Amino acid sequence: MTRVWKWNRPVTVREVLEDLQQERSIAYTTVMTVLDNLHQKGWVRREAEGRAYRYEAVSTRAAYAAALMNDAWAQSDNPAAALVAFFGMMSDEQRQALADAVRIVQGPESVEPAEAAEPVRPVEPSRETVEDNPGSAPEGDGR
């Protein structure tokens, strides 16, 4: 999928193969099988072009990442504790991206100027949160 997203347009097996071969040796049939499997799983769509197909991603890489995060969050028996643990793992850049995304989703009219100027601070899970909800926060650093 990384290669399909990288091209950002419909691609052939040959194009993906040549791109991959810049880094390692790989067979045409391997690339063809992987793209066919991605098509069967609904991750890419394809259109015939002569005797070959052109493959295109069904969703963006960002939408895929969002779906993964949503699926993982849905698995938690304590969504608030999962978010607290997740926010605690974020870098400063990730927290800023989150703050920017919240502003975009909420719209400019929902954020007052004083709030927009405040930096996003790291969130650490409290002892109570972890002790009251065993298994809701990862052990150690979560890796």
- Contacts of residue 49, defined as CB under 8 A and 6 or more positions apart, other chains included, come to 12
pTM value? 0.58
The pLDDT tens digits of the residues spanning 73-87 come to: 899 999 999 989 998
The pLDDT tens digits of the residues spanning 96-140 come to: 999 999 999 998 765 555 454 455 444 444 444 444 444 444 444
Which has more pLDDT, 117 or 52? 52
Would you state the pLDDT for residue 107? 83
- The span from the CA of 142 to the CA of 114, in Å, is 34
Which has more pLDDT, 28 or 67? 28
**Residue bearing tokens 């895929």:** 64
Whether the Cβ atoms of residue 19 and residue 3 lie closer than 8 Å to each other:
yes
The pLDDT tens digits of the residues spanning 92-107 come to: 999 999 999 999 999 8
Mean pLDDT in residue range 45-57: 95
Would you state the pLDDT for residue 112? 55
Phi, psi torsion values for 11, nearest 5 degrees: -125, 155
Percent of the chain predicted with pLDDT > 70 = 75
